[in-house]
């Protein structure tokens, strides 16, 4: 089990304190969803929707890049 989970409503990492998903969690997610990239995108899209509600002051493009842009 990872310690790099999001702390809401700030969406920071419980493991290292930076913006979630942090570098470590991204690496973990890539490994967990290795053979299921669409499932990873759906999971992160759901997290993006939740975060957009909490982080309404952050531009949508920035949140997209943070949550989904790194998956390519």
pLDDT score of 25: 98
How far, in Å, are 18, 27, 40 from residue 36 at the CA level? 26, 14, 6
- Cβ contacts of residue 65 below 8 Å, gap of 6+? none
Rounded Cα gap, residues 35 and 31, in angstroms: 9
- What is the structure's pLDDT at 69? 97
The one-digit pLDDT tens for each residue of the chain (72 residues) are 799 999 999 999 999 999 999 999 999 999 999 999 999 999 999 999 999 999 999 999 999 999 999 998
Q: What is the pLDDT of residue 1?
A: 77
């Amino acid at each position: 089990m990872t310690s790099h989970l999001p702390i809401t409503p700030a969406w920071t990492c419980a493991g290292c304190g930076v913006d979630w998903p942090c570098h470590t969690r991204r690496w973990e997610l890539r490994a967990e969803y290795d053979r299921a990239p669409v499932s990873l995108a759906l999971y992160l899209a759901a997290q993006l929707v939740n975060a957009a509600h909490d982080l309404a002051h952050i531009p949508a493009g920035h949140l997209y890049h943070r949550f989904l842009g790194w998956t390519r």
